[in-house]
Amino acid sequence: MSIDTATPAGGSSPLPAGQPARQPSPSAVTKADIAKAGATRRRNAAKWKLIVGTVCTLLVIIPIILAQVLPLPDANFQDLSARRLPPFTDGHLFGTDQLGRDLLSRVLHGGQVSLTIGLLAVLVSGAIGIILGAAAGYFGGWVDTVVSRLLEAQMSLPLLMMLLLVVALFGPSIPVITFVIAIAQWPEVARLTRSMVLVEREKPYVSAARILGLHRIQILIQHIIPNVIKQATLVVLLLLAQAVLLESALSFLGAGPQRPFATWGRIISDGQDYITTSWWMVTLPGLVIVLMVVGVNLLGDGLRDRPRRKKKGA
């Protein structure tokens, strides 16, 4: 059955097939058709998502990076005479909290901690996931068995509970929380890398490299991993969004870092008791989280859907 290979111009255009002498001049596919075509819409949507995603992410990240430079009061400076001021009063853009601390400053300084944890966690989980996933896919055998069993075991564990347990065990320091989030996230990267490497290792270039006498580890590192790393890093970017959310959930439950600054989840749980009188103490930090996570997610979506110009392999 080879019905679908008959029309070279693609399914959507109404080209009369089988005409003897086809004119090279005006195509039946007009500009309007192209603009309406699925591929064009897809490309435009991807472009739009990339732009909006970048804007949202930078809107949050740039102030966070510059938190030390910006003219803000100290995040931990308490002024009991200026408690719970609403936003835009006395130079407090986000208002103040129940101890008179500047909310914007708290959010930005806490964001530095949140973001550091998120980035570190994603780096660690990405590294573990890619290495173990690639090894499992390439070597197969007992390596694959061990890694796959680990992946399954982690699926059936009550995740958030285990995270709380480990944090209770080693104390809520930044390295512990980073490690805990990384442990929660590596399976996703590992599963994807493993499946891609399984496909990749059957390709001719791998056999060629082996015949040329390259060591198996060298083939894996020099030839296979570069071919899958792009897609794997895309997943890692989406994991960053999850890591930030997970960290905020942990610190909301009181298992987040306390020093040097309280992170986002903690700020929200602090403000929870004053929600009826001081709406900003919960709403604004939450909006900052949403803005940033939406940005990162849009960015990841846009990058995934973006048409690829250079097509290697396949």
Partner 1 sequence: MTNYILKRLGQGLLTVFLTVSTVFVLIRMAPGDPAVSYAGPLATTEQLDAVREQFGLNKPVLEQYWIFLQQLFTGNLGQSYSFQAPAMQVVAERMPYTLTLATASILLTAVVAIPLGVWMSRRPDTGKELGVNVLTIAGQSMPDFWTGIMLLTGFAVLVPIFPASGFATWGGLVLPTITIAILQIALISRMVRREMTANFAAPYLTVARSRGVKNSVLTWRYAMGNSAIPVFTALGTRFAAMLNGVVVVEVVFAWPGVGSLIVRALETRDYPLIQATVLLTALLAVGVQLVIDLAYPLLDPRVRLGKAATA
Contact residues: partner 1, CB under 8 A: 3-4, 11, 38, 41-42, 44-45, 48, 52, 152-153, 156-162, 164-166, 168-169, 171, 241, 245, 248-249, 252-253, 265, 268-269, 272, 275-276, 279, 282-283, 286, 289-290, 293-294, 297-298, 301
CB of 140 to partner 1, least distance (A): 16
One-letter-per-residue 3-state SS of the chain: CCCCCCCCCCCCCCCCCCCCCCCCCCCCCCHHHHHHCHHHHHHHHHHHHHHHHHHHHHHHHHHHHCCCCCCCCCCCCCCHHHCCCCCCECCECCCECCCCCEHHHHHHHHHHHHHHHHHHHHHHHHHHHHHHHHHHHHHCHHHHHHHHHHHHHHHHCCHHHHHHHHHHHHCCCHHHHHHHHHHHHHHHHHHHHHHHHHHHCCCHHHHHHHHCCCCHHHHHHHHHHHHHHHHHHHHHHHHHHHHHHHHHHHHHCCCCCCCCCCCHHHHHHHHHHHCCCCCHHHHHHHHHHHHHHHHHHHHHHHHHHCCCCCCCCC
Nearest-approach distance from CB 127 to partner 1, in angstroms:
24
Residue whose CB is less far from partner 1, 120 or 268: 268
- For partner 1, the closer of residues 224 and 285 by Cβ is 285
Question: Which of residues 223 and 265 has its CB atom nearest to partner 1 in the complex?
Answer: 265
**Closer residue to partner 1 in complex, CB, 184/225:** 184
Q: Which is nearer to partner 1, 37 or 131 (CB)?
A: 37
Residue number with CB closer to partner 1 (68 or 156):
156
Residue 231: CB minimum distance to partner 1, A: 15
Taking the complex as a whole, the smallest distance from the CB of residue 285 to partner 1 amounts, in Å, to 8
Q: Residue 242 CB, nearest distance to partner 1 (Å)?
A: 9
Least Å from the CB of residue 146 to partner 1: 14
